Structure 1
Amino acid sequence: MHFFNLSAVPYATALAIWALLYFVVYPVVVYFRDVKGLRRFPNMSLLSGISYVPFMILAHTGQRSTHLAEMHKRYPVIRTGPTTLSYGDPAAIKDIYGHGTQCTKDKQYLVTSGSHFHLADVIDKSDHARKRKLLSSAYALKNLELWEHKVADKTARMMAHFDKMCTKPLLKGCIPASADLNVDYRAWSNFFSLDAIADIGLSEKLGFLDQGHDRITASRMDGTKYECNFRECLYENAHKQSLLVWPYSWYSTTNKIADLIPFYRRMGKLGRDWDGIPLELANRRLERHRAGEKLDDFFTALMEDKNGHPNNLEWGEIVAEVSIMMNAGSATTAIALTNVLYQLLRNPDAMQKVQTELDHAISDDEEEDIGQGVVAYDRVKHLPYLRACLDESLRLLPPTPQGLGRETPVEGAYILGQFIPAGVSVSMSALVAHRCERVYPEANSYIPERWLGEKGKELQPFFLTFSAGARGCIGRNISYLEQTVVLASILRRYSFALPFPGWEPKRLETMNWLVGEMPVKVWRRQRAAVDEDYWE
């Protein structure tokens, strides 16, 4: 006979009462006390002022920023959680992210960091200044242009694959046969960005473009090795974080509990696999450094200053910097490359204009001198319409659309003229900023011309793709270099077609705005005669 343990009843009851008080009553009391004065702002949903659960639910749709963009058409400020505010007016960019702001990166960067901070997640301003000084010379455009040959090499390898995949030209008014959609441009742009940043940063030849896949060897802390797929590990790790990070104070616990559920457990396993990739790459590069190889790359900038004196960084900090370089240095550029080709294929007038500009700037003789169809950066870096096409795609489809959280200081801060007390996380989504009709008329349309001339310069303060201020993306220059060389080279050499008119790729917002497969038909382009007076 089984007897019910009556002694357990008081404990279960006490636990239930505690849970009710802590998770329901206490948040409601805090909401109505409104010590921070945030009830003046409209809630994202009925319970957003009380709990972060609505935002977590929204995160699971993969459309956080698109949802906020729609809401911000009505509300300039939205309360997305008990102590988080989302802003919709681009004028707030200066207050939140500008050089003079006293706001610091919020606790999301703390709870998702590893044992050591890297440049992108370090919160302390003095520590950030130290790191930025350490790496700024390596990321300077004048140095990056010295490494253009690495970008050109990877571009040539990608184009060698495209040459093999070329089909017969598509007849006007026809759609491609399924067999001719033989290039997943999304995958190959990512193979390019990974191979390029590994070579630039670590003098490492990953060989993804040669192999046609991203299988890689990684290592654990105990030195054992394993194989995994680079992209899958990287993106699923970020995906899990994007779903569970709110509220920040509960992330560690929520993350562990989530691993009991198969959906999250798989992402967690891939996230742990990801940790071993930068560790293995850093170990390989360290062996070469110790062997006396003199290599000109980012790793050398981590190990020693420009005079050759050792920086004496902790190994964990070096691995952290390698990790963010391989992560942010590849993912966003690959997404951007995919998006700009997609936008040009959907907007043939813009495609014709940029190809005409390229044909005018580069003669066939110059292309042969460069070799393998790769366009020299120096020949195209100042082409206005090419840059406008890139910027308009980055505006319309920013690779990182989420609002990057900043915490108000102990003395509080004024944002859009309103006082926000200490400890509030404030942010503005790049997608939201770029959909403001007051700044960007016809904001949902792809219009590269908006970036030309003086009007284009006036838009720069409201361009949030690379964030802004002192914490703006340090890799901006290298991303533009890679995008410019690749786009100019492939548009000169090929024509592309999407599966059918109106086709759209799948998109999922995690920490970045991931793009699904983009199958295209590719064939060698027949160039029209260049009108010498076209741009006069």
Structure 2
Amino acid sequence: MYEILVASVASLFLISYFIILPVVNYFRDPKGFRRYPALNAIAGFTDLGFMWEAQKGFRSKTLYEMHKKHPVIRIGPNSLSYGDVHAIKDIYGHSTKCTKDVFYEKLAGTHFHLADVVDKPEHARKRKVLSSAYALKNLEGWEHKVADKTERFIRGCDAACTAPLSKEFKRPDPKDLTFDYRAWTNFFTLDAIADIGLSERLGFLDQGSDRVLGETMDGKLHYVNYRECLHSTARAQSSIVWAYDWYKVNEKLTRLFSSRFRHFWHLNEGWNDIVYRRAKQRLARYEAGEKLDDFFQVLMEDKNGTPNNLEWGEIVAEVSIMLNAGSDTTAIAMNNVMFWLLRNPACLARLREEVDSVLDPAEVVAPYDKVKHLPYLRACLDESLRITPPTTFGLPRRTPPEGAPILGEYIPGNTSVSISAYVAHRDPSVFPDPERYDPDRWLQPNSKDMQPYFVAFSAGARGCIGRNISYLEQTVLLASVVHRYEFALPHPGWEPELWESMNCGAKTMPLKVWRRDLGAGVAAEAEKVEVA
């Protein structure tokens, strides 16, 4: 009898909390959000509605279709999504009163890093420490590391080369699809950020895989796959984080009842071990007196050699976000621009003509000074970032307790607000014919008018601090490979399989690759790349 009573009380509590109370709050409507259309039938009642969309794999595309008709959509009981680009300034601009949302606090570890810290003064302190390392003037110091990775990427391309594609057939033989551009661009960015950030050579481009040592907190070493651990972490977190108050509970529940999520969370532990191993090794070098030109050195002391005295947990957190955000988004961008160029041969031909005009036939790696100001090259990169931004989802912000105006309308305090880059970049009033890949749009006299609404790197004071390094890597690699190679997709209408977690990228992009005929005057050093 006692057990029945306890079960009845527990059931009544659960029904009241999860069903009755949300329904009562929906109709009570204390913030007046019922006037906005909801993302789906339950989004106005519970965050499970948005979690359901996240499970489908491309929630931003769903938002885009709805925002064609509705400038504001309710994506949760206390969350609003905007589709009007003029909301960007109100939500993310330098003068906004909105702060980072609770979303970031829920995903943070024991210490905040630059990307998830919510407190504005604390963010300013962190950004001041790191800004010198990411400054535009320091790019010259990183170029030789990017050039090194480009050479190694090219060696992998050379090894995968096949005979030229027959002019009679537009579809490569499946056995000639020897180069997964998505994987290799990720090997590139992982090797690059480890070298730039920690002076460590991971060797992924040399070995053609991302197998790497991780280390547990108790010192056990084991091998894991870098990308699998990173992407599984994002898949798990992006599926359940939206119910902020229940994030930790949902993490435990998914571990108990879902074999798929148990696998994700296991790989998340592998990601933590990757980060810990990298940070521990680099700290040992620092403590041994090595003065290395990398981000870690900047973390540890200022330009005068004065220690920053950061806690170990904060150091590990900064290494984590550097190895994550500093690699994955740029790799996705590199993959996407190649896809769009291959789908638009006229654009590729024009880009190749521009690159060939400044590079000698024998040049293997494009010197940054020669290609950094090529207008069509930059336009190709920006147009790819527009139509397929690596970070698609709306980076959530929170209105201040007193509320804030967005699009001229008062929004009550402590509300989650956002605008997806995928949605913003398809506003036809700013980007005409938005579904068309058109680099020329960035070369028109009025192209500066589009810049405030180009949010591939977010906007305002919380915009991506690493955009200069990302452009450096993208520019050098793209110029180098279009100069040296021809590529072909599996077939002319091929589309990548995309999945959106925190970022949105292709799973694979298998290509046929072969050497271009650069003429009889090509020097011997262009025939074979020697990498030290």
TM-score tier (shorter): over 0.9
SS across alignment from 1:78: strand
Equivalent residue for 2:204?
208
Q: Is structure 2 residue 252 aligned with structure 1 residue 256?
A: yes
Partner of 1:312: 309
Deviations, residues 56-80 of structure 1 (Å, cap 9, x unaligned): 1111100100000000000000000
* Structure 2 residue aligned with 1:396: 387
Matches within 5 A, 1:4-403: 6-174=1-169, 175-260=171-256, 261-364=258-361, 367=363, 373-403=364-394
CA RMSD of aligned residues (A): 1.1
- Amino acid in the other structure paired with 1:351: L
Question: Secondary structure at 1:454's aligned position in 2?
Answer: coil
Task: Tell whether 2:414 aligns with 1:419.
Answer: no
- How far apart, in 1, do the equivalents of 2:306 and 2:476 lie? 34
User: What residue is the counterpart of 1:428 in the other structure?
Assistant: 419
Partner of 1:467: 458
- Pair 96,173 (structure 1): closer, same or farther in 2 beyond 3 Å: farther
CA displacement, residues 422-473 of structure 1 (integer Å, 9 cap, x when unaligned): 0100000000001111111110110000011432211110001100000000
Give the aligned residue type for 1:158: F
Distance in 1 between the 2:360 and 2:272 partners? 46
Give me the whole-angstrom Cα distance separating, in 2, the residues matched to 1:360 and 1:212. Answer: 32
Deviation at 1:145, TM superposition (A): 2.1
In 2, Cα distance between the equivalents of 1:317 and 1:80? 33
Total equivalences in the alignment? 518
TM-score normalised to structure 1 length: 0.95
SS at match of 1:361: coil
Give the CA deviation at 1:114: 0.5
Residue type matched to 1:237 in 2?
A: T
Amino acid aligned to 2:187: F
| Pair 1:438 & 2:429 matched | yes
| SS state at 1:241 partner | helix
Report the CA distance between 1:384 and its aligned residue: 0.6
Q: Aligned partners of 1:455, 1:502: CA distance in 2, in Å? A: 33
Which 4+ runs in 1 deviate beyond 4 A?
A: none
Q: In the TM superposition, what is the alpha-carbon distance from 1:292 to its structure 2 partner?
A: 1.1
Partner of 1:532: none
Q: C-alpha distance in 1, partners of 2:384/2:68?
A: 21
Task: Measure how far apart 1:115 and its partner are.
Answer: 0.5
Aligned equivalents of 2:176, 2:239: Cα separation in 1: 37
Question: Is the partner of 1:364 in helix, strand or coil?
Answer: coil
Among candidates 479, 484, 501, match of residue 470 of structure 2: 479
Deviations 1:30-85 (A, max 9, x none): 11111112112111112211111111111110010000000000000000000000
Q: Secondary structure at the match of 2:57?
A: coil
Measure the CA separation in 1 of the matches of 2:206 and 2:516: 24
What secondary structure, in the 3-state scheme, does the structure 1 residue paired with 2:357 have? Answer: helix
> Is residue 523 of structure 1 aligned with residue 514 of structure 2?
yes
Give the deviation of 1:226 after TM superposition: 1.5
Q: Distance in 1 between matches of 2:435 and 2:355?
A: 26
- SS of equivalent residue, structure 1 residue 445: coil
Determine helix, strand or coil for the equivalent of 1:90: coil
Q: Deviations over 1:271-321 (max 9, x none)?
A: 111111111001111111111111100000000000001000001100100
Q: Percent identity?
A: 58
Measure how far apart 1:173 and its partner are: 4.2
Structure 1, residues 3-22: CA drift from partner, whole Å, max 9, x if none? Answer: xxx22111111111111111
Unmatched runs of 5 consecutive residues or more in structure 1: 1-5, 368-372, 530-536
Name the structure 2 match of 1:533.
Answer: none
Distance 1:447 1:527 in 2: 27
Q: Deviations over 1:488-526 (max 9, x none)?
A: 000000000011110111100011102111111111112
SS in 2 for 1:39: helix
SS in 1 for 2:33: coil
Instruction: Report the TM-score, using the length of structure 2 for normalisation.
Output: 0.96
What do residues 159-208 of structure 1 show as CA deviations (whole Å, max 9, x unaligned)?
01111221111122412111211111111100000000000000000000
CA displacement at 1:528 relative to structure 2 = 8.1
1:284 corresponds to which letter in structure 2?
Q
Answer whether contact 2:426 2:434 (CA < 8 A) is retained. yes
SS in 2 for 1:432: helix
**Does the 8 Å contact 2:361/2:518 carry over to 1?**
no
Q: Which residue of 2 aligns with 1:3?
A: none
* Letter paired with 1:220: T
Unaligned runs of 5+ in 2: 521-532
Tell me the secondary structure at the aligned position of residue 168 of structure 1: coil
Q: Distance in 2 between matches of 1:447 and 1:526?
A: 27
Code of the residue aligned with 1:127 in structure 2: it is E
How far apart are the structure 1 equivalents of 2:517 and 2:435? 32
Query: Separation in 2 of the partners of 1:405 and 1:504?
Result: 29
Provide the rounded CA distance (Å) in 1 between the counterparts of 2:509 and 2:203.
Answer: 22
Secondary structure of 1:522's partner? Answer: strand
